[in-house]
Amino acid sequence: MQYQAPINDIKFMLFDVLGVEKLAEFEKYQDASPDIITAVIEEAGKLAAEVLQPVNRIGDEQGCSYDPRDHVVTTPEGFKAAYAQFVAGGWASLDAPVAFGGQGLPHTLKFIVDEMVCSTNLSLGMYAGLTHGAISALYAHGSESLKATYLANLVSGQWTGTMCLTEPQCGTDLGLIRTRATPRDDGSYSIEGTKIWITGGEHDLVDNIVHLVLAKLPGAPDSTKGISLFVVPKVLPDSGERNPVYCGGLEHKMGIKGSATCVMNFEQARGWMVGEPNDGMRAMFTMMNEARLMVGMQGLGVAEMAFQESLGFAQERLQGRALGGAKNPDGPADPIIVHPDVRRMLMHQKVLNEGMRALALFTGYQLDLSVAHPDAQVRQEGDDLVQLLTPVVKAFLTDEGFNNANVGLQVLGGAGFTTDWPLEQLVRDGRIPRIYEGTNGIQAMDLVGRKLGLKGGQLIARLFTTVSDFLADTPEAPHHAELAAALQRLQDATAWIASKGLADPEEAGAAASPYLRLTALTVIAYLWSRMASVAQRQLDEGVGNALLLQGKVVSASYYFEKLLPESVSLLADIKSGKQSVMALQENQWQV
Ligand SMILES: Cc1cc2nc3c(=O)[nH]c(=O)nc-3n(C[C@H](O)[C@H](O)[C@H](O)COP(=O)(O)OP(=O)(O)OC[C@H]3O[C@@H](n4cnc5c(N)ncnc54)[C@H](O)[C@@H]3O)c2cc1C
């Protein structure tokens, strides 16, 4: 089935709920008029359906190949041409800095395009996705000379970027890094070591690949405090010489087979430091925070495609009769969409997907306010919410994106399990976003262990105020009482973690994942109430797309009746504490 970008849903959220047309009032985004935003979204939808989707299946079937004789990686048939079209259309540079050839459009638009790219070709999207993070890290922390050397070609997509953190002995715990950087006389560094699982480490889409590499200087502290960041190009831009950084092989994996996941050997390759010595983690976090939001969109993208496929199937597949009497009396059976259990699966996907999209766009909008609003207070509020919600977007959208792909597969019955349908690929591709860019467990630890305590609790307080202000200002909002109760549960959970977790960090660790989920369900409840409130108002006024608006009102009811009640059990889970998680002794796991 050809992908249909969810343009109407996106526009409803952008313009009717969030009011992103305000962005054009700020100097930074003066070009982002509603017409431009709409045109970008519509064109992105076409690109996804017409250029990226057609090579998605072949990417899965062929995967990337590696030739050990010259360390060359070849991407699947059609990837090179599709990437060239992506770059030629300016899609790689949408929100990149104008000073280096980018279009400087709002980040919210980038979120939207990311979703569409990932619905139609997650693997291909990875090459540009990682590049974007490299641009941000260099832009924020690189010297003027590094920026001048690398940024324009990265922004245009003529070169791609990578993020080289992981090594065989260190994934989550980057303090264990062994890659070394030895100073040379000319101010550059000699980089030596092996990185594994490097996305886009080697490929044939572009002529040069710019690696951002974490390494340790001689005598650096033996922890994350001793890590520095280096830029290591495949081809040296000044001389055109090949730098000795080679792909040593490709990973064979369950999904995203068109994305080259490489072992990278740095054999005294030349590199240049980005930022200050031993301050590499800070620079890398610029890249990772951005990448985490992008990975969240991967989850949503996969879920949206799975929904479209399963909806189309459910409307066509004839099995059984509707419980309330035949709906297709002239046919041999009714389409399966008449069955309450199938509808439950479809509603689950639709309502969660729209809720997750609302969460992503809300976060994207806060990001734009944090960089563009003239009032420092508003910028600060936006930044606080983005910091708080980044791990939530990454983890919840990838957990539920994967789960929704699975629900979609279930709608197809046996057909979903076969390779005749794209659901099994979506499920396989949709599994990895829960793991990379920091596993979802680590996102929960980031939320509870870092973000809750930051600035004396200011970030979470900002979220509470946002929701309680809405409740106070909109007493007529649909599901007002349920939202107020959900907010109270999140506040209870936060207070519990603040008191217990401070005294015993294991209590906070055991509560982290359910707490992240509770936060996500509560913010999405707030956004569903906002969406339903706008929809009801427009329906009462007789404006807008009535079918969409009525759907929003029903979907909000589904969310509050069927999905939000999980927040009750999550609070109980959190408050039950660590005891049953931690009590087993080493000799009791298997007896
Ligand atoms: C397809 C693919 C692409 C990738 N691309 C890149 C890339 O481009 N660049 C790059 O540098 N890396 C990349 N990675 C690596 C990826 O980021 C890591 O796999 C990930 O960060 C987890 O590290 P790990 O696999 O070593 O797991 P481990 O760190 O060994 O963790 C194993 C499990 O233990 C848990 N755990 C570990 N420590 C803690 C803790 N302190 N508290 C609670 N739980 C903990 C984890 O959540 C996880 O469930 C990629 C991986 C894959 C599979």
Token output for 254: 């369950």
The three-point CA angle 314-318-322 to 5° equals 85
pLDDT at 502 over 90: no
pLDDT at 154 over 90: yes
**Of the candidates 252, 227, 79, which has an alpha carbon nearest to the alpha carbon of residue 164?**
227
Residue 403 has phi, psi (to 5 degrees) of: -60, -40
pLDDT for res 375: 97
pLDDT digits over 539-582, tens only?
999 999 999 999 999 999 999 999 999 999 999 999 999 999 99
Give distance in angstroms: CA of 262 to centre of ligand 1.
15
pLDDT for res 131: 94
Give the catalytic positions in this structure: 437
C-alpha span between 226 and 176 (Å, rounded): 10
**pLDDT more than 90, % of the chain:** 97
Give distance in angstroms: CA of 170 to centre of ligand 1.
8
Q: Which stretches of 104-207 are DSSP H helices?
A: 107-141, 144-156
C-alpha span between 511 and 503 (Å, rounded): 14
Give distance in angstroms: CA of 70 to centre of ligand 1.
29
C-alpha span between 469 and 335 (Å, rounded): 45
Residues, the chain, total? Answer: 591
pLDDT digits over 55-82, tens only?
999 999 999 999 999 999 999 999 999 9
Banded pLDDT at 395 (limits 50, 70, 90): very high
Q: Please tell me the residue having the least CA distance from ligand 1 atom 24.
A: 171
pLDDT for res 290: 86
pLDDT for res 58: 98
Residue type, 569: S
pLDDT for res 20: 97
pLDDT for res 477: 98
Instruction: For domain 7-64+76-146, say whether CATH 1.10.540.10 is its number.
Output: yes
Give distance in angstroms: CA of 438 to centre of ligand 1.
6
Q: Please tell me the residue having the least CA distance from ligand 1 atom 20.
A: 436
88 Cβ neighbours under 8 A, 6+ residues apart: none
Q: Please tell me the residue having the least CA distance from ligand 1 atom 11.
A: 165
pLDDT for res 284: 86
Q: What is the mean pLDDT of the chain?
A: 97
Residue 589 has phi, psi (to 5 degrees) of: -65, -45
Token output for 321: 């009769």
pLDDT for res 288: 86
Pocket test for ligand 1, best of 172, 177, 259, 446 (most atoms within 8 A of CB): 172
Beta strands at 245-250 and 228-233: parallel, antiparallel or unpaired = unpaired
Distance between the two ends of the chain, CA-based, in angstroms? Answer: 51
Kindly tell me the sign of the dihedral angle through the C-alpha atoms of 69, 74, 77, 82: negative
pLDDT at 223 over 90: no
Q: Which atom of ligand 1 is nearest to the CA of 253?
A: 1
Q: Please tell me the residue having the least CA distance from ligand 1 atom 19.
A: 436
Token output for 89: 């259309």
Pocket test for ligand 1, best of 439, 446, 448, 578 (most atoms within 8 A of CB): 439
pLDDT for res 283: 87
C-alpha span between 508 and 488 (Å, rounded): 19
Report residues whose beta carbon is within 6 angstroms of any ligand 1 atom: 162-166, 171-172, 197-199, 253, 261, 432, 435-436, 438-439, 441-442, 445
pLDDT for res 361: 98
Give distance in angstroms: CA of 171 to centre of ligand 1.
5
pLDDT for res 405: 98
C-alpha span between 113 and 93 (Å, rounded): 11
Banded pLDDT at 222 (limits 50, 70, 90): confident
393 Cβ neighbours under 8 A, 6+ residues apart: 292, 293, 296, 359, 360, 363
Q: Which atom of ligand 1 is nearest to the CA of 214?
A: 11
Q: Which atom of ligand 1 is nearest to the CA of 256?
A: 1
pLDDT at 286 over 90: no
pLDDT for res 147: 97
Mean pLDDT on 79-95: 96
Q: Measured over all CA atoms, what is the biggest interatomic distance in the chain, rounded to whole angstroms?
A: 84
pLDDT digits over 396-447, tens only?
999 999 999 999 999 999 999 999 999 999 999 999 999 999 999 999 999 9
3-state secondary structure at position 4 = coil
Q: Please tell me the residue having the least CA distance from ligand 1 atom 40.
A: 442
Give distance in angstroms: CA of 137 to centre of ligand 1.
21
pLDDT for res 407: 98
Q: Which atom of ligand 1 is nearest to the CA of 171?
A: 26
Mean pLDDT on 145-156: 97
C-alpha span between 125 and 406 (Å, rounded): 21
Is-same-fold flag (7-64+76-146; 159-278)?
no
Banded pLDDT at 349 (limits 50, 70, 90): very high
Q: Using a cut of 0.85, tell me whether the model's pTM lies above it.
A: yes
Neighbours of 95 (CB within 10 A): 23
Q: Which atom of ligand 1 is nearest to the CA of 200?
A: 8
pLDDT digits over 461-497, tens only?
999 999 999 999 999 999 999 999 999 999 999 999 9
Give distance in angstroms: CA of 451 to centre of ligand 1.
20
Give domain limits for the chain: 7-64+76-146, 159-278, 440-581
Q: Which CATH class is domain 159-278?
A: mainly beta
